[in-house]
Structure formats: structure tokens, C-alpha cells
Structure 1
Amino acid sequence: MSPVRKSASKKRVRLGLRRLFGALPRGLRFWLYRRMVSVQVQPDAELEFKIAETAQELEACFRLLHDAYVGAGFMKPDPSGMRITIYHALPTTTTLCAKYRGEVVGTISIIREGVFGFPMQAIFDLEPVRARGGQIAEISALAVSPAFRKTGGEVLFPLMKYMREYCERYFDTRHLVIAVNPDRIEMYEALLTFDRLVERQVDHYDFANGAPAVGASFDQQSAPGRFRRLFGGRPAGRNLHRYFYDLKLPQFSWPQRRYHTTNDPVMTPALLDHFFNRLSPVLSGLDDRKKALLWTIYDQPDYKPMLPTLSPSGDADGGHPLRNCRRFSMRCPAQIEYADEAGKGVYVVAVIDISHSGFQAESRLPLPLDREGEAVVELGEGKRSVLRARAVRRKDTQGGAFYGFRFEESDAPWRECIAAFEMGYTYRDIR
């Protein structure tokens, strides 16, 4: 039999088996997924998982993603040979990579909700997820080298584990959301405990060349218990609870941080220009509001020549004013102490972003508004700031309340922290 006929025959067999599997009851299909899953608790020592940060790593990720998306029909071939989106330009996006013997063999991107939102929210209702509190990030741009796609998840599973741990430990993200092809959604539900967002399927997901998509979410708070119930007590290679939550892998490289920041930006002026102007005209294709937002994000002088110009008649604010004071994403333990004629009280809070003259904090207990107290904020290891601040606004969610604080005068540790963010280009500059 010729190689062409053999390939066609194998394809028919695979399609036939897939149809038979799809005809089984949903509960039985999920049971089979969980019985068949197997992970390597000791991955190859020559594998490495890290943040993609160099031009070579990012280019390899974007090429791998391009080829995978073109092959799946999720995009048309691009002259650059890469899939580069505006979300990859943002400091609220982190691209992770898997490397084998120094070569990128897998990639995935995490797009936390920011000034541009994220692709999914244009077509899926995320309000039920948002109402539970906590940051949301879209998991996107997943691709694995063809050489590792049939190796039993040798790259895929540790890459997913690395992504989950990074989101929890470094990215301050509670909810992970995905938009995947309907043929793939059951794997995420059965093995990774994702829940479908709504019982509907999107026929045309523009971010994936109009391919059909199903949305789903993963809650970092409830997931450990669900994994334990489904996989606890099983042998090591089939115990996904132990794999995702207990196992420590030496192949994982983590960012070193001086401050409790939650972003790991990598776009220097040169990289921004290289990928988003020279290789792909991403920046020039933005509308005026997004162009203006980029100017507020990248406000250091060295970025200005790389940023797109606004059209003379463009409406930069789109009817909504842009912030004139930059905020920096953090996750800092803090406490607020009140001691005045209204009484005494100490409240433990988490500071989630900071600026020159204020910060936002999350609290499980109600805090008084327009009352000055002493705020002690742990900005980083050995970096403590003490401020006189007052809460001026409150926003309630199912997960707790968020308060906006203002202060008249900052101290030296606070100013030093703000300066580090304002002067640094990448996460390595801030650490």
C-alpha cells in the first residue's frame, strides 16, 4: 500500500473511532478520559519552562503558534510566518514557553483583563465569573511542536501545570477562561475541571478566523477540591491532583522579584518596534482609542518613536476619559489601622494596585469611607511603606469589597517603588 493510501486509511480509522467515542453517553466519555490519562512525574531533564522574553524566544513562539493555527484553519498564513496580536504587546500578557535542548517546543499566552480587555469578552458573557471576585485571564495561543504532539502530553501537561502555577503564584489570577474548538472542550472539562460558560456554541470566533468555539472557565479557589475528588488516591502517573498541586518540577524557572508585582513585562522599545511595527503592522492598524491607551501604558521617552501616531481627526477618548495617572499592578499584604474619636480598629487587606497618590485594596470586611487611618503596606521583601490614607470609594463583588484609597503624602519606600516601575522596561529591570 502506498504511503498516501496508508495515511488516508489511518485517518478514516481515527475518524471512525472518534464517532464511536462521541456516541457514548457524556458521563462515560468523561470516565474514559480520566481512566486513560497519564502524566510523567519526572519529565525529561532537558525540558525547561519559562517566560518567553528574548527576541529569539518570542519569535519561535509566534512561529510555532502561526503554523499550528494555520494548520488547524484558525488563521490564514501571514507573510511574517508568525501570529502576532496586539495582546502580546501588553504588559498584562505573559507568554510562556517550553524549551527542549534550547529549542522552543511549546507555548501558551496568558491575557489578564486590562485596558484592552481580552478577546473572549466580545462574544461570551463573563459577568457570572466576574461577580465571584478575583482577576480574570484568558488562556490563549496554545501550541506544541509536531514532534511532541504524540508523546502522551510530554510537553502539554507540564506546560499547563506551569501556566496554572504561574497564574496562582505570580499573576494574581483566580479565574482562567478559554475559548476552544467544540471538538476539544470535553478534554478541558473531564481532565482539567473547566466549566462551560453558557450552554451555547459560538459559530464564528473572529479571533480564530471565524472557527466555532465554546467558552469555559476554571476557578483556582475551587479547583483543588475538585481535582482531589476526581483523581485523589490514584497511582502517581494518573493522579492529576498530586501532579498539578503537590509535585514540584525542577524544570520550572520562575521570575525573581524585588516587589510584589503581578506583571512580568518583556517588551523593550526595540522588541515592541521589531514585532509590532517591522514584522507585523499591528500598531498602525489600531483605532485611535487603543493607540492613545498604548501611549498611557508606554509613557517612557524611549517608547515614543515606536508608538503609532493618532489621526488628526481621531476621537482618542472614544467618549470616555483616559487615565492621567498610571497604576501599577501589585498583590501586597497590608493593614489599615484607625484610631480616632470614632473608635479603634485594625483591618487586614490586600493592595492590588498602586499609583503616585493612591492605591486599591481588597477587603473581606467593610471599611469606613472618608476616614483617615495608618496604612502599612508590604511592597516587597523588606520594602515596607507607612502612609496616612483614607478610603474614598467602594465596589462590592461576591468575593469581597474593593476600596480606592487616597493619600496626601507618600514615604520614601513608596516613591522608590513607583520610580522602579516608571523607569523599568521589563520585569528584570523592576526586580
Structure 2
Amino acid sequence: MRSFYQNWNRADKNVNEKNKQEKLSLMLIRNAELLREKKYLPERRRAIRLRRSRLTEVGQSLDYRIKTATSREEWIEAFSLAHDRYVELGYMDPDPSTMRLKIQNILPSTRVFTARYEGRAVATATLIIDSPLGLPSDAIYKKELDMLRNKGRLVSEGSSLVTAKEFKCSNIFMLLFKVVYAYAQYLQTDDICIAVNPKHARFYEDILLFEPIGELRYFPSVKDAPAILERMDLRTAHARFADIYNMEDFDCDLYTFFFTANNGDESEWGKSYPTGGLRMSLEDIRYFFVEKTDLFVGIDDDKLAYIQKCYPDYDFTRLLPPGYFSTR
């Protein structure tokens, strides 16, 4: 009997030990799974968000036409859409011109893109290339932008990225940003910077792989709305998108969308985006910057000289009010 109980206890001990080992093994496996899930959580979050948002779904884009504004009528449409959305969002009071534009819009290198639906502009985005006129975000992030400039980098800024209220749930923004990105690459800029509201920062960082380079500040030109300066390094963007979006989960990945899908013939880019820039007529400059706005008021001599350099064949004494040059 004694031997029986000894054998029973020994067998029970062996069973318990085996159970402990199995439990330990299961725990280690589970821990490994948790670590893997934690490691790939951002990627999985991106995959889920992309699927739910249908950001790159081709079917949605068939009814939209992305176009560069090249006429006064098209610029008015874009600037008016930006104005109306900024007013609706509380970022500005209504302006008598019913348009929102910046002095950098006068530059031939600046591009205003619109997404058109059934003949009207329903979204717009502007890309501004750095110049002696500076960038809009210099108003509160000059130190951060100067750090990039001092490294010899050509910086650009995305501006006035707005979508008509009834189209805000579509993928129109991604179609516009694809063109903005392609144009920035075509001009061989090194960075795209965008000052975004903090509530949109996660989208730019998680999905578009921007990185914050400026702390939270408040933008006077949009009624002191909060902003964070985000930056996309175009020198490394290709590799980063390939690295992040190479998982099987990404059945609508942005690497394919930005780098391999429908990029078109690069020889055609020179026709659409001539390196000499897209120049406004003298009459358009007068209309937008003298008659409708006062953007020339207070501009310093160096900036004015640069604008004149961009239009060497224009007589700016005919453009600006009488006595403008003599009073400077």
C-alpha cells in the first residue's frame, strides 16, 4: 500500500510538472504573439484604417478629374472654395473678395490643383515651393524651416488643402495629394511640409508617414487655430512607403498608389508642369493682388524685386497704384 501511494504521488507530481511546462510553453507562445502584435500594431492600424476609409479605391476616383488651375476662372474657383471652407470651419471671417490666397500664389512655381466633379471644383490643394518670399508656415515655424534650408534642402509646403463639405467622406483628398506629391518630386524638392490641426496629425503621421518637426503653436492667420508642423522627407519617402506598406494586410497600400499606380508617362510632365513655371497674366496679377486683395501692401523691397524677376517682361509700374514705387 505504501508503495502504491509513493507511485501515485510520483505520477501526480510528473503530471503537475508536465502541466506546468505546458502552461509555461503556452504563456511563452502567447507572450511572443503579444510582442508581435505590439510590434506590428501601427501597421495593422494603418491596414484597418485604409480598408475602412477606401482611400485608394479606384472606383471612387472615376468621376473626378484632377486639374491644374490655369485660368482666372479656375483660380477663382479654387480660392473661393478655400475661403468658403475656412469660413465654415471658423478659421477666418468672410472676406469681401470671397477668396483665400497668399502672396506666394503669384509665383510661377506655385501650383493650384483642383478636383473637379460634374464641371465644378469640389476640392483644392496648393503646393508652394520655397523662394525669397518664404513659405506660409514661416509665420510661426521659421526656425524649424530654416533648419531644413540650412542643410541645403529645397522645401515645399502644402497649403489650402480643402474639400467641399459634401465630399469630405470621399477619397478625393488622396487623389489630390497624389498629384501634389508627384509635382513635388518632379521639381526635385526635398521636403513637403504642412501645418495641420492637431486633430488631423495622426492621419498624416500614421497613413502618409509625415513626421512632426514643430511643437504645438497657434496660427494668427487662421484665428489662432492650433497647428503642428509636419514634414515628409522626399529623399526617403520611397523606401519608407515600401518598408511600411509591404505586408499582406495592405491590400490597398499607398506604396502602390503613390509609386506604381497610374503615374503616367514622365515625358508628359514637362508639358503639364513646365520648369519655367505657370505665369499669371499682368491682368490676372492686378485682379488678384491689387483689386481683390491688398497682398502687395507692406511687401518689402527684396520680395517685390524677386516677384519682378519672375516676370521680367511685365511693367509693374502699370500694375501697382500711382506713387507706389516713389513712396518706398
TM-score norm. by structure 1 comes to 0.59
3-state SS of paired residue (2:122)? strand
- Deviation at 1:75? 1.6
Q: Select the residue among 96, 114, 117 that pairs with 2:131.
A: 114
Q: Distance in 1 between matches of 2:61 and 2:103?
A: 34
Q: Select the residue among 198, 202, 215 that pairs with 2:229.
A: 215
Q: In the alignment, what sits opposite 2:201?
A: 185
Q: In the alignment, what sits opposite 1:297?
A: 310
Q: Would the aligned equivalents of 1:232 and 1:242 in 2 still touch at CA under 8 Å?
A: no
Q: Distance in 2 between matches of 1:241 and 1:160?
A: 13
Q: Would the aligned equivalents of 1:84 and 1:276 in 2 still touch at CA under 8 Å?
A: no
Q: In the alignment, what sits opposite 1:61?
A: 78
Distance verdict in 2 for CA 1:139–1:303, change over 3 Å: same
Bigger proportion of residues as helix: 2
Does residue 101 of structure 1 match 2:118? Answer: yes
Task: Please show how residues 21-420 of structure 1 align to structure 2 within 5 Å.
Answer: 31-37=44-50, 38=54, 39-124=56-141, 125-151=144-170, 153=171, 155-169=172-186, 171-198=187-214, 200-202=215-217, 204-234=218-248, 238-248=252-262, 255-257=269-271, 262-307=275-320, 310=324, 312-314=326-328
- Deviation at 1:297? 3.0
Q: Would the aligned equivalents of 1:295 and 1:307 in 2 still touch at CA under 8 Å?
A: no
TM-score norm. by structure 2 comes to 0.77
Q: Would the aligned equivalents of 1:111 and 1:118 in 2 still touch at CA under 8 Å?
A: yes
- Deviation at 1:257? 3.8
Q: Distance in 2 between matches of 1:186 and 1:100?
A: 28
Q: Distance in 1 between matches of 2:311 and 2:289?
A: 14
Q: Distance in 2 between matches of 1:115 and 1:302?
A: 20
Q: Would the aligned equivalents of 1:109 and 1:139 in 2 still touch at CA under 8 Å?
A: yes
Q: Distance in 1 between matches of 2:63 and 2:212?
A: 36
3-state SS of paired residue (2:207)? helix
- Deviation at 1:82? 0.9
Distance verdict in 2 for CA 1:301–1:194, change over 3 Å: closer
Q: Aligned AA for 1:95?
A: V
3-state SS of paired residue (1:192)? coil
Bigger proportion of residues as strand: 1
Q: Would the aligned equivalents of 2:43 and 2:244 in 1 still touch at CA under 8 Å?
A: no
Bigger shift: residues 239-248 or 273-282: 273-282
Q: Distance in 2 between matches of 1:149 and 1:282?
A: 30
3-state SS of paired residue (1:143)? strand
Distance verdict in 2 for CA 1:165–1:187, change over 3 Å: same
Of structures 1 and 2, the larger Rg is shown by 2
Distance verdict in 2 for CA 1:182–1:61, change over 3 Å: same
- Deviation at 1:240? 1.1
Q: Would the aligned equivalents of 1:111 and 1:138 in 2 still touch at CA under 8 Å?
A: yes
Q: Would the aligned equivalents of 1:288 and 1:311 in 2 still touch at CA under 8 Å?
A: no
Q: In the alignment, what sits opposite 1:393?
A: none
Report the aligned-residue RMSD: 2.8
- Deviation at 1:216? 1.3
- Structure 2's unaligned 5+ residue stretches are 1-37
Q: Distance in 1 between matches of 2:195 and 2:108?
A: 22
Q: Would the aligned equivalents of 1:194 and 1:216 in 2 still touch at CA under 8 Å?
A: yes
Cα deviation, 1:292-320, whole Å, max 9, x if unaligned, reads: 44333333145541245545453xxxxxx
Distance verdict in 2 for CA 1:58–1:312, change over 3 Å: same
Cα deviation, 1:48-71, whole Å, max 9, x if unaligned, reads: 112111111110100110011112
Q: Would the aligned equivalents of 1:52 and 1:58 in 2 still touch at CA under 8 Å?
A: yes
- Deviation at 1:131? 4.7
Q: Distance in 2 between matches of 1:57 and 1:285?
A: 27
Cα deviation, 1:243-291, whole Å, max 9, x if unaligned, reads: 11110067x9965449x95352231111111211222232245344433
Q: Would the aligned equivalents of 1:178 and 1:217 in 2 still touch at CA under 8 Å?
A: yes
Distance verdict in 2 for CA 1:293–1:220, change over 3 Å: closer
Q: Once the two structures are aligned, what percentage of the paired residues are identical?
A: 27
Q: Distance in 2 between matches of 1:209 and 1:266?
A: 31
- Structure 1's unaligned 5+ residue stretches are 1-24, 315-431
Aligned length: 282
